[in-house]
Structure 1
Amino acid sequence: MQLDPRSLIAMAGFMSAMMAVVLLFMRRNYPPNIRGLDYWAAAPVLWLVSAVLFGSRGELPQSLTVVLANQALLLGAAVYYIGSRRFLGHGGGWALWGSVAVASTLVHIWLTYVTPSYALRVAIFSLLMTVLYGAHLRFLLRHGDKGFPIRLVQVVLALHILVLLTRFASVLVGRAGSDIMEPSPFQTAYVGAYVLTVLMLSIGAILLATDRVRTELEHLATHDSLTQTLNRRAVMQLCQEELDRARRYGHGPSIMMLDLDNFKAVNDTHGHQHGDAVLVHFAACTKSALRSEDRLGRYGGEEFLVLLPDTDAPAAHHVAQRIHALLQAGHPLDCQLSIGVTSWQGQTDTLDAMLARADAALYQAKKRGRNQTCAG
């Protein structure tokens, strides 16, 4: 196939169709809390419409192959941008870019039928797309993370901005050409850059959604679904890693076992939904009493485990007192709890030994009347 503009546009249409199918399939099968996928799936559909209309130039009216084709291309980029905003938890975008699309349509109608000017159409459209891609790039730089999928989209946007600025500059120096289908190296390069941009932006959307699913699956594998604390396997693994670190550096952690007092009576009296609400409230209060490096995990039922890295016994006891105080503030879901705390005792200490001491201290706190902390 000869790489002229018409062939490249056909290639862009084929790629858009394939990417639209993939993204629509993902939209249907991925979790609904991954927002933006519907917009990302709509973008290549619009790019496909644009490619079909551009490729039909000479066979269909200019209202379709010039005006509507350009607006479908612009709307595809705008919809993709709005999808990125939704994906990263932001709204907005439609009012501004919908208005821009309407204004662009009117300008293209004027420059196609009233005072025809291919060069002016190219200049205005290039500037509009530059501003749109620039807004998208700025948003991703401000709100995106540093992962590869975000970086990929940022690079693609930045490179295509350079292409658009070059195309705008070509108008200023009188090298815009006479038609997009003109078989010149410049037109071929511009359309080729557009084809690559369509492909890479679609791949970027796929990678972003897949990465989000992977992150959520990892979270589900390590966290308790109700309280959003670490699950037993994850917190035990962190405890073991902290003890390994303690043996290397000579100063170790403290561990607290927490058990909500008379929790069965709460479930029996008020129902399991109320009991779940108590657990969620307890987890939130306890997290607020901990440092960023501390870890809270659900050990089983109403029993929780707290890992306090590089913390001695007095500091651990102080944390326990803070937790008691927070759960006696008068909130309707406040509860009482018993805490058993123990600290690392040197190179020969093991996780099993620490858990046994913390559990024995917890039993002692229960035996002494509950709602208190004992050390082991």
Structure 2
Amino acid sequence: MAAAMTIVLFSAYRSFPADVQGLGHQSLGMLSLTASGLLFCAGPLIPEAVLLFAANSTMLGAAGLMLIGTQLFFGRKPSWWWLALAWVIGMVCLVGWYVITQDYALRVAVFSLLTLSFYVAQLVLLVRHGERHFSSWFFGTLLLVQSLVLLLRLFAALSGAVGTSNASNGAVQGIFLLTANFMTLMMAVGFMTIATRRLQVVMEHRSNSDPLTGVLNRRGFAAAYHREVALMKRHGKPMTLLSIDLDYFKAINDQYGHAVGDRVLVHAAHTTVSALREIDHVARFGGEEFIVLLSGTTAEQAKATAQRIRASLFEARGGDVPDYTVSIGIASQQAPDESLEALMARADAGLYRAKAAGRDRSEAA
């Protein structure tokens, strides 16, 4: 089963977009666990010293690789130094155990503590950076259970209740071995749940976003508009639409080329977003036309916002884009029964007046 979950994780690694990080290292971790299990099963065929170092080092490396995978998933810098340090400590412990004193309990305590540190670190990452979603709660529960089992084994080793070898009988040893085999599979399932959730979020974002500028597309804007209408119905808050068009954009494309024109569009989108609040919505409706939905904003307040957008674009001139200006039409929706098409038509009427009046200005409908 561990080998099967390795294949599942590796398949996801090859299939999921680059936005979902960590799957490759998780699959390597599962592969290491599979190799460790095979080594332990092949005990009679392998010299004891080789088996001791190979099986335990791959098992410790597996837990470290899973931590690296989780760190990459959450966009954190991977702690390769941590994995290397834990591996060195583990190998030194094995040398001491094999050469000086074959104290099985001490070996179990050291490796339980080292492995526990990897799982606790993953749990902390999940608590601090994980999405508040069922997938995170599920994976977090598995990490907590695994950490508690390792903590139990650590205390049992310190109290001398783990026997004298892996083959020793006993309640603690039995619980650990049973749980370890089960959790090997469940940890892979848990990581796949948060990876699948991340994939869903990424695909939804892509389907709702303009690929060039990163702002909303028509589909994403329509969803945002319907949410704002629902707020208007519940709380009576006004909202205002800005229709923004880049002046003489065709001349920019003709003079500088479409690559520069694309940079102008990206520049305009990012500068507009930076001039707004987080609760406002910006969308590209094709070509050089952008739409801004201002939540809880009256027409008078929207005029000040339109002026702020134009001022931000003026201040951000220079660099690798030519100078440009925008014209803005303003229309405020006071009643929730007005359709988006009607509201946009009124904003476009204001935009046409701004164009007719000389461009580089804003006009209310």
Q: TM-score, normalised by structure 1?
A: 0.91
Q: Give 3-state SS (helix, strand or coil) of 2:291's partner.
A: strand
Distance in 2 (CA, whole Å) between partners of 1:259 and 1:301 is 9
Distance in 1 (CA, whole Å) between partners of 2:278 and 2:180 is 46
Q: Give 3-state SS (helix, strand or coil) of 2:116's partner.
A: helix
Q: Name 1:355's counterpart in structure 2.
A: 344
Q: Name 1:136's counterpart in structure 2.
A: 122
Distance in 2 (CA, whole Å) between partners of 1:291 and 1:306 is 11
Distance in 1 (CA, whole Å) between partners of 2:138 and 2:223 is 34
Distance in 1 (CA, whole Å) between partners of 2:201 and 2:229 is 27
Moved more, 329-338 or 310-319: 329-338
Letter in 1 for 2:359: R
Give unpaired runs (5+ residues) of structure 2. none
Letter in 2 for 1:24: F
Moved more, 40-49 or 149-158: 149-158
Structure 1 residues 56 and 325, CA, compared in 2 at 3 Å: closer, same or farther? same
Q: Name 2:98's counterpart in structure 1.
A: 112
Matched, 1:331 2:318: yes
Structure 1 residues 249 and 116, CA, compared in 2 at 3 Å: closer, same or farther? closer
Distance in 1 (CA, whole Å) between partners of 2:33 and 2:75 is 25
Structure 1 residues 119 and 236, CA, compared in 2 at 3 Å: closer, same or farther? closer
Matched, 1:371 2:360: yes
Contact persistence 1:243–1:351 (CA under 8 A): no
Q: Give 3-state SS (helix, strand or coil) of 1:301's partner.
A: coil
Q: TM-score, normalised by structure 2?
A: 0.94
Moved more, 31-40 or 272-281: 31-40
Which of 192, 199, 202 aligns to 1:213? It is 199
Contact persistence 1:232–1:299 (CA under 8 A): yes
Letter in 2 for 1:41: S
Distance in 2 (CA, whole Å) between partners of 1:344 and 1:43 is 55
Distance in 1 (CA, whole Å) between partners of 2:144 and 2:222 is 45
Structure 1 residues 257 and 107, CA, compared in 2 at 3 Å: closer, same or farther? same
Distance in 2 (CA, whole Å) between partners of 1:210 and 1:350 is 36
Which of 15, 26, 46 aligns to 1:40? It is 26
Letter in 1 for 2:140: Q
Counterparts of 1:1-376 in structure 2, within 5 Å, are: 15-329=1-315, 330-332=317-319, 333=321, 334-346=323-335, 349-376=338-365
Letter in 2 for 1:269: Q
Distance in 2 (CA, whole Å) between partners of 1:264 and 1:177 is 80
Identity %: 36
1:222-272 deviation digits (Å, cap 9, x = unpaired):
110111111012213322442344244333211110000000111111111
Structure 1 residues 311 and 71, CA, compared in 2 at 3 Å: closer, same or farther? same
Contact persistence 1:71–1:101 (CA under 8 A): yes
Contact persistence 1:243–1:252 (CA under 8 A): no
Structure 1 residues 291 and 95, CA, compared in 2 at 3 Å: closer, same or farther? same
Contact persistence 1:255–1:307 (CA under 8 A): yes
Structure 1 residue 158, shift from structure 2 partner: 1.8
Q: Give 3-state SS (helix, strand or coil) of 1:300's partner.
A: coil
Q: Give 3-state SS (helix, strand or coil) of 1:179's partner.
A: coil
1:59-103 deviation digits (Å, cap 9, x = unpaired):
321223322211111100000001111111112311222122022
Distance in 2 (CA, whole Å) between partners of 1:131 and 1:250 is 53
Letter in 1 for 2:360: N
Q: Give 3-state SS (helix, strand or coil) of 1:343's partner.
A: strand
Moved more, 346-355 or 89-98: 346-355
Structure 1 residue 347, shift from structure 2 partner: 5.7
Distance in 2 (CA, whole Å) between partners of 1:52 and 1:200 is 19
- Equivalences, count: 362
RMSD, aligned CA? 1.7
Structure 1 residue 125, shift from structure 2 partner: 1.2
Contact persistence 2:163–2:169 (CA under 8 A): no
Distance in 2 (CA, whole Å) between partners of 1:347 and 1:40 is 49
Structure 1 residue 216, shift from structure 2 partner: 1.0
Q: Give 3-state SS (helix, strand or coil) of 1:328's partner.
A: helix
Contact persistence 1:242–1:252 (CA under 8 A): no
Distance in 1 (CA, whole Å) between partners of 2:167 and 2:152 is 18
Q: Give 3-state SS (helix, strand or coil) of 1:327's partner.
A: helix
Letter in 2 for 1:331: G
Structure 1 residues 182 and 41, CA, compared in 2 at 3 Å: closer, same or farther? same
